[in-house]
Chains A and B, each alone.
Chain A
């Protein structure tokens, strides 16, 4: 089983619908992130959470919200989806104790299409 699991893997929805992307991890990491990938733009940070009570906006948080339900769970919501939110979304984790390495561990991505 993957250490960082995202659901759903693929989703097609309509404009105006509420969508939730879920992420769970078994790595025991305290930090979790949501990134969005668009062609030519790399990955852009949407939100990040350094622990259950700490939620922070990233570069492109408008139109998104998050919830850190537990150390192992971090969900991303689109309250009213719009077509330009069509993208590949990645959840990632890291360990604050691993400052030297600074490595992120990624889920397999959730491809969202908004019609």
Chain B
């Protein structure tokens, strides 16, 4: 079974600075998808960014980008120019060949200091 590990339970960043959230995963599959979801205090799960494993180019969505290292099974999220609204729980998730069933990491709580 696939596992997803987020080794940082909490992180903090100064507003306007850059922060990187770590995620590693374990899989024997070669084709899969990786996601970062954001959960603000409203509880809603919001997709931040996705990466397809067969694509070597790292995904980017505005201030959010990933560093995908397939051989190392690492998928970190970089948030640039952090804003107060970025404060939330962030979950890394894996979706393999079994279908659209996400396996989630334990989450990282990001605090943004003004």
Contact = CB atoms under 8 A, between A and B. Distances in A.
B45 interface: yes
A88 to B, nearest CB: 7
Most buried by B among A33, A45, A106: A106
A12 interface: no
Interface stretch (B12-20, B64-72, B95-103): B95-103
Given A42-B107, A43-B91, A104 B102 contact: yes
A101 B50 contact: yes
A22 interface: no
Interface in B23-53: 33, 35, 42-45, 47, 50, 52
A106 B45 contact: yes
B54 to A, nearest CB: 10
A42 B52 contact: no
Interface residues of A, number: 28
A99 B100 contact: yes
Contacts of B44: 106, 108-109
Nearest to A58: B101
B104 interface: yes
A94 B100 contact: yes
Contacts of B35: 102-103
A68 interface: no
B47 A42 contact: no
Contacts of B107: 40, 42
Given A42-B104, A108-B44, 6 more contacts: A42-B107, A102-B33, A104-B100, A104-B102, A108-B43, A111-B43
5 contacts: A41-B106, A45-B101, A99-B100, A106-B44, A108-B42
Interface of A: 31, 33, 35, 40-45, 48, 50, 58, 88, 90, 92, 94, 96, 98-104, 106, 108-109, 111
Interface of B: 4, 6, 9, 33, 35, 42-45, 47, 50, 52, 91, 95, 99-107
